[in-house]
Structure 1
Amino acid sequence: MLSSFKISGLAALSLLSLSANGALVSVPNFGANPTNLLMNIYVPSKLATNPAIILALHGCSGTGEFYASQTKYNSLADTHGFITIFPSANHDNGCWDVASTKTLTHGGGGDSNGLANMISYTISKYNADPKKVFVTGTSSGSMMTNVLAATYPDVFAAASGYSGVAAGCLAGSPSSSPQAADPTCANGKVIKTSAEWTSVVKAMYPGYSGAYPRIQLWHGTADTFVSYANLAEAVKEWSGVIGLTFTKNVTNTPQSGYTQMVYGDGTRFIAYSAAGVGHTVPVHEDVDLKWFGIV
């Protein structure tokens, strides 16, 4: 859905013009790209041996280049030696497709397929660790984060989504953008049981019997654009998929006004409720890196 991240054409061109090692660069050919996504990659000058990869996904009307400039992942990459990928969705008002059957199916030829291929390219080219591949995103990017965790659980080890919706919430919508999407999902009106959500996820990769990524979710209680009610649905979805029950709330974590909701022992699934925060919850990069196990 809509994000506050927007960028002028001039600024985007300026960022794309950087080509030295340790700068965000465009990758025109990364393999099969069925929906014509744009790939931008940041490889730090001091790259770790068998580095980790973070795929970071912008919100609607945004770009990968601008999302990179608005987050701290690249500066943290300089410190810790991991690789970042900041792709761009150049269709549907700059929103990721989280609605079509193609993108909601493993190997289906949608946006999720192209993003997974960016990961395969990066692992091969930079000898990255396939067990240390992570995904995060804001708004529409968070929606795709959930979709990728469902469609490519064998690719991603962990995920952190900000102000999104459950994987499959927008299934069947004519669009994924706020201008044309069925508003039922964004308004928090798609309600399912945990078992029903689990079936939705399992259907995206039929026959898969392995583990699903560690999931961390964030949502603001004052979000009226992507309703806060969607956090409860995503919690039902991933607690069901991973097979965990609620354990406890930890208040004022990681900061004042935020409540950490712990499931199981807190190592596989947690969620953050941000009191009074609208759309979107600010990115907490340091918390993400701890969740991913990079620091």
Structure 2
Amino acid sequence: MRSISDTIAHLRGLAGSVDRTAQQAAPLTPIDDFGDNPGALRGYLHIPHDLPAHAPLVVVLHGCTQTAASYDHGAGWSTLADRFGFALLFPEQQRANNPNLCFNWFLSEDTRRGGGEVESIREMIVAVVERHELDPARVFVTGLSAGGAMTSAMLACHPELFAGGAIIAGLPFGTAHSVPEALERMRGHGHDRASLSDRVRAAAVHGGPWPTVSIWHGTADTTVNPVNAGLIVDQWRGLHRLGEPDITERIDGHTRRAWRDRAGRAVIEEYMITGMGHGTPLATDGDEACGVPGPHMLGAGISSTYRIAAAWGIAPAVAPSRPVDTAATVPQRPAPARSLRFDPTTTINDALRAAGLMKP
């Protein structure tokens, strides 16, 4: 039996091998000299060949234990960007800031307008939009887990920057301010439901329209309790002044709810992925397929990456047939059913608890 230190080393080794594969599959270009960078983050770009001026920009925030390259490899964003013509920005955490490579979504100094990691990401966005002549009206942000919670922070602190955001297995903004509080909120405990929307309103003076929000969560997520998905919905329903959902439907065996504004536009949507643990939902076959299953990247028979891009209007609403030359990068057989329930975070958490580094 492995010791705790051996187990953690083994998991980190697996992550390293994924990173190396990702870097070979989709090299990302470092972005330097983008501002003061008070959050001490790294940044990487993927700019498709012959990208036209005024193209959209998607900001992608990885989860804990991941890097920009490994998350791109798993979620397939660069494949989609090459196919449909938009730019990608990947902020990346450093171990000096967080030993598990989590964005510090629970620290006030990193989640306030004008400071910390939120400011570093804002500086990257402004620099990339200007240098590559991108469309400032079509900037979007998405992230998984801690990256999803940081997506909530970016949307709250800088709503004027974003047309839309997508939060995957994340948490609402402003509900934790320390590691113990973060762990409690991840379990679904201690949320102040009454103040959810007020926390966003207090984060920035904003008189314009609010970004659209897409929320994705697995019903079997034991790392970030699915109650958090409903809380994110409530936070943004209050901002958009919406009541009950206008649409409730089943898509590929999963539940989707949507809320429309007065113009009939879906400004909030929520996907609850049946039987899935903690991770980003992938489709491994069909025209929407992109990405590669792995730790936190879970075959679910539905592509969150494609459907998020389609909801933002930067990919067709109905996926066209995939080009033959991309088929080799996408597995041709569906992932085994057990991948829906495999949650690698449980192994990591068990090891941390046994080592006394995480509360039971």
Flag whether TM exceeds 0.5 (same fold).
Answer: yes
- TM-score, normalising length from structure 2? 0.72
The question of 1:106 aligning with 2:117 is answered no
Q: 1:39 corresponds to which letter in structure 2?
A: G
Query: Matched residues in 2 for 1:181 and 1:26: separation?
Result: 34
Query: Matched residues in 2 for 1:221 and 1:278: separation?
Result: 7
Task: State the identity as a percent.
Answer: 26
The corresponding residue for 2:272 is 273
Contact map agreement 1:23 1:44 (CA 8 A) in 2: no
- Consecutive unaligned residues of structure 2, counting only runs of 5 or more, are 1-10, 283-303, 316-360
The question of 1:192 aligning with 2:192 is answered yes
The question of 1:263 aligning with 2:271 is answered no
Q: 2:153 corresponds to which letter in structure 1?
A: V
* RMSD, aligned CA: 2.3
Q: 1:291 corresponds to which letter in structure 2?
A: A
Contact map agreement 1:192 1:233 (CA 8 A) in 2: no
The corresponding residue for 1:43 is 47
* Secondary structure at the counterpart of residue 170 of structure 2: coil
Query: Matched residues in 2 for 1:86 and 1:116: separation?
Result: 12
Contact map agreement 2:106 2:182 (CA 8 A) in 1: no
The question of 1:220 aligning with 2:218 is answered yes
Tell me the alpha carbon deviations over residues 79-138 of structure 1, each in whole angstroms, 9 at most, x when there is no partner: 22211012211121201111222233211x111110111100111100100000000111
Contact map agreement 2:39 2:110 (CA 8 A) in 1: no
Shift of 1:11: 4.1
Query: Matched residues in 2 for 1:14 and 1:288: separation?
Result: 22
- Between Structure 1 and Structure 2, whose CA radius of gyration is higher? 2
Query: Matched residues in 2 for 1:24 and 1:281: separation?
Result: 20
Query: Matched residues in 2 for 1:166 and 1:272: separation?
Result: 16
The corresponding residue for 1:95 is 102
Q: 1:67 corresponds to which letter in structure 2?
A: Y
136, 141, 149: which is aligned to 2:147?
A: 141
Q: How does 1:12-161 map to 2 (within 5 A)?
A: 12=20, 15=23, 23-90=27-94, 91-92=97-98, 93-107=100-114, 109-161=115-167
Contact map agreement 1:198 1:240 (CA 8 A) in 2: yes
Query: Matched residues in 1 for 2:54 and 2:93: separation?
Result: 28
* Secondary structure at the counterpart of residue 128 of structure 2: helix
Q: Pick the structure with more helix per residue.
A: 2
The corresponding residue for 2:15 is 7
Contact map agreement 2:44 2:90 (CA 8 A) in 1: yes
Change (3 A) 1:36 1:116: same
Contact map agreement 2:57 2:86 (CA 8 A) in 1: yes
Query: Matched residues in 1 for 2:314 and 2:246: separation?
Result: 25
Shift of 1:249: 4.6
Contact map agreement 1:54 1:82 (CA 8 A) in 2: yes
Query: Matched residues in 2 for 1:67 and 1:222: separation?
Result: 21
Greater relative contact order structure (CA < 8 Å, 6+ sep): 1
285, 308, 311: which is aligned to 1:288?
A: 308
Tell me the alpha carbon deviations over residues 173-231 of structure 1, each in whole angstroms, 9 at most, x when there is no partner: 1x4xxxx66421101013333x51111111111x3222221000011111111001111
Query: Matched residues in 2 for 1:14 and 1:280: separation?
Result: 17
Contact map agreement 2:37 2:120 (CA 8 A) in 1: yes
The corresponding residue for 1:202 is 201
Query: Matched residues in 1 for 2:50 and 2:308: separation?
Result: 21
Contact map agreement 2:19 2:67 (CA 8 A) in 1: no
Contact map agreement 2:18 2:70 (CA 8 A) in 1: no
Contact map agreement 2:54 2:133 (CA 8 A) in 1: yes
Query: Matched residues in 2 for 1:188 and 1:114: separation?
Result: 29
Query: Matched residues in 2 for 1:46 and 1:260: separation?
Result: 36
Q: 1:75 corresponds to which letter in structure 2?
A: T
* Secondary structure at the counterpart of residue 80 of structure 2: helix
- TM-score, normalising length from structure 1? 0.87
Change (3 A) 1:182 1:55: closer
- Consecutive unaligned residues of structure 1, counting only runs of 5 or more, are none
Query: Matched residues in 2 for 1:182 and 1:111: separation?
Result: 17
